[in-house]
Structure 1
């Protein structure tokens, strides 16, 4: 081929168009190579999962920012094995904080290493985690990284991921000198705390013990006294012990359900802090503030630290069959009473408990009502810290029927306890759902979808191709 012919080929339109296409292809490939190199060198990632599985909560991020000592998270299992979801989330911890190290340890090859961490009685099998800092550590069993539904016999279903709750709780445990101790009052037919609530308190690093004031006073290691739905009043001697505990800067959470009995002794203790439980059932006539049943209340959340995070996260709280909390006109100047949950102005109080139907009479007390309140008494003479109370007009919100389906209920309790025990950065991390919603279709709907995918879409692509070919042919 002559040189002139070669030069002439460069002026040919087909060559120029082909050259432009080749150049554009080369540029696109070069851009893709550069983007891959940049992405490989950076830790920038996007969490596109439906329930934000790989995004650490603000509470976890705050805990990691406060961490100032090396912490190693040992994942029991081989380096290449293990749950990918667990491994990826642990990687997020390591990426977020330079003090975090994550290591895989094979328990079969290193039985001696694992044995030294069995002191707390944990069952450390493959998939378990050990969070260690110096001489202190906390173990997390593999089954505690998830929540399960055992309602169907013989068919256990994983429902949600609890890893972040457990790992962040372990980090807070290592950062504290001791765990706060909660004593639950017994001897008055109180309701026991549900197992799920107890597991959540364990994740929050609380130690829960039972206490009867018949035989002893409130122990010195008690950080919080918890009274859950007593059916009988305290004796005068028990009330005196509770009064002394609070006078010394003690903290108490009192969840009082509506009963047929009065509580004069317990009421006298509450009156000393400017509050009382108003014996009525709150009925909410505003449909925006109930859950379809006028006694299943969806109250307003106040600006108090206990419920502020719930309000910011738009996490509702459901309070069933609640009494009202009343602030007394006469109270000490040092006492501050702050509402936590309130009803609408359309709420009213049912005081005739023998009536089966909810019928508002002219004499019925009118809302709005306070359903829960936080009370604090500033330090005074002979007391170095403030006394604190959280008083709620219902304990039914902790029933599994409600706490299991409304996550805000459990968070209301744990946030209250964190406020009472002065725990900064307390957890309110919710499990992340692992359930996928299935699209259920009947036979006709499945046939239509198959026809669209198998017939209509291919025909549309074929028609578009024929149209383009015909246009180019007639140019």
Structure 2
């Protein structure tokens, strides 16, 4: 006997109950809190289930004997199980989010430097966007920042409504974006119509506001160094990169200034074509002795006059042209005279660079004296050419071939970073002076004083012994700590072209240069990473006819083909 309409009604009520319960559990799991909607759905589902089972209980047993009911029950259970599983998966995804960026240019992944800076925040930092309309692209970028640290927040403000807040930041136009941190405020970008937030400007703003001082960078001039203007072979892009990071950049002519300015954080000597005067070299050496930092970018076949100074640091310029025979440069239409580097030394400057590319056109090798006797000097290779490379001695030959008798076999060192501890010399001088004073006192002391002195020496010796043991324990505990005393820093590149206009923006070239300057300026190691790059416009410009054709194909033609195919298969099945 077929079921009546009333039976169908109670059957629907009975199945609606578990459905509402499942929906409530899914919503509660997704929202991760006690949602009123979730509670209402679960409660209503329980009521309907109880009522349905009570009223329809007599019919339930007979109804389940039908094959159609059993099949329908299996389908409902499968659907409910799927909903529960999806709810649990969504809940886990919210609690333990994992993101994969499958775009070719890592469009939705923040740069390593950005991640280091934001993760290292120790106090609240807030972005204020004085714009009423919230751009979804900007929100996605800001949410990426916020995921890195609970200290990072952002807020959209309508300057026409919240006038007091706009006055506090001295907002001039709608679209200004301010950064607030540690009581400091900084304008980082003004959003024009159709413009989006830039990770480059946002991260540069964070880097600047975190500093408590502005490093001053001086470029030596007067010897035919690379020009600072926006011309071919100049350093304009490198200077712009420094200024965007908050550095002050100035030219320096030692013949006029007489000495390196006292506020100089770094002095850069970029490919001088004439030799520096001996007095200028001495001035630079004196600057290094005052905890100074110098970067020398020296091309082959030039004599800078810095050779004696470099020799004191255990560094020598090979002078021969570095040849890269690995063939990797052919993929970028580069010849063998432009080494393509993917191998870097173990140093804070290059810590994040491994297996990434940088170019060094017309470079020379740098030779490090492994037997240098000055124990206060440490030299670390930064940039290494491929194994299939060498320093060519005979450039007049028609073919470039490695000659083991004349050429220097690779891999070659193209750049080095060196430090020299300064307090070791001071302690040595102080120790010598104390010994001289003690010898003088011993000569003039009376026998009674000498006897008393010997007794005191025994007590002091015992005290020093205990202190030495404590120092030894401390040294064991801090054996991996780096030297933190006063030191001079020197970086030497056997190439200057890599940092010049055009080459600066290629791959990691700019990062190598900027990280080197930051390290010389004693910046935090959180800043020594790969900086964010400007987004590349990869849009395809279509003619109106092409755009219309794609629209019709996507919206009409392809869906219609799908429906027709489905209809034909259904007709064949009949």
What is the TM-score of this pair, normalised by structure 2? 0.66
Distance of 1:23 and 1:372 partners within structure 2: 68
Q: Is the Cα–Cα contact under 8 Å of residues 322 and 364 in structure 2 kept in the other structure? A: yes
- The answer for the alignment partner of 1:322 in structure 2 is 363
In the alignment, what sits opposite 2:496? 395
* Cα 1:125–1:394 shift into 2, 3 Å: farther
- Give the 3-state SS of the residue equivalent to 2:336 in structure 1: coil
Q: Which has the higher helix share?
A: 2
Query: Within 1, Cα distance between the matches of 2:176 and 2:383?
Result: 39
Q: Which runs of 5+ in 2 are unaligned?
A: 8-57, 229-233, 428-484
Unaligned ranges ≥5, structure 1? 145-156, 471-475
From 338, 341, 353, the equivalent of 1:296 is: 338
1:208-254 deviation per Cα after TM superposition (whole angstroms, max 9, x unaligned): 22211111211111111111122222111211110101122211111
- The alignment covers a number of residue pairs equal to 437
- 1:162–1:315 Cα change, 3 Å: farther
Change (3 A) 1:16 1:275: same
* Secondary structure, aligned partner of 1:67: coil
What SS is found at the alignment partner of 1:224? strand
Tell which deviates more after alignment, 81-90 or 7-16: 7-16
Q: Within the alignment, does 1:219 sit opposite 2:261 as a pair? A: yes
- The residue number in structure 1 matching 2:421 is 378
| Change over 3 Å in CA distance of 1:47–1:344 after alignment to 2 | closer
CA–CA distance in structure 1, aligned partners of residues 517 and 75 of structure 2: 67
Counterpart selection for 1:46 from 94, 99, 108:
99
* CA-based RMSD: 3.8
Instruction: Report the alpha carbon displacement of residue 105 of structure 1 after superposing the two structures with TM.
Output: 2.6
CA distance in 1, matches of 2:197, 2:381: 31
Partner of 1:171: 206
Equivalent position to 2:349, from 272, 293, 306: 306
Return the offset for 1:318: 0.9
Give the corresponding residue for 2:153: 101
**1:42–1:252 CA distance, 2 compared to 1 (3 A):** same
Classify the secondary structure of the residue corresponding to 1:375.
strand
Corresponding position: 1:277 with 2:322: no
Q: 1:47 Cα deviation (Å)?
A: 4.9
Structure 1 residues 99 and 196: alpha-carbon distance in aligned structure 2, compared to 1, 3 A threshold: same
Match of 1:415 among 515, 537, 546: 515
Matches within 5 A, 1:161-240: 163-191=198-226, 192=228, 194-216=235-257, 217-240=259-282
Where does residue 266 of structure 1 map in the other structure? 306
1:97 positional shift: 2.4
- Following TM superposition, by how much is the alpha carbon of 1:298 offset from its aligned partner in structure 2, in angstroms? 1.1
Aligned CA distance change for structure 1 residues 238 and 132 (closer, same or farther; 3 Å): same
Deviations 1:245-291 (A, max 9, x none): 112221111111235x422x221221111112222211222324775
Deviations 1:124-146 (A, max 9, x none): 644432111243222212369xx
The 1:343/1:47 distance shift into structure 2, 3 A limit, reads: closer
Larger radius of gyration between Structure 1 and Structure 2: 2
CA distance in 1, matches of 2:313, 2:200: 35
Determine which structure has the larger strand proportion and give its number. Answer: 1
Q: After TM superposition, give the deviation of residue 108 of structure 1 in Å.
A: 4.7
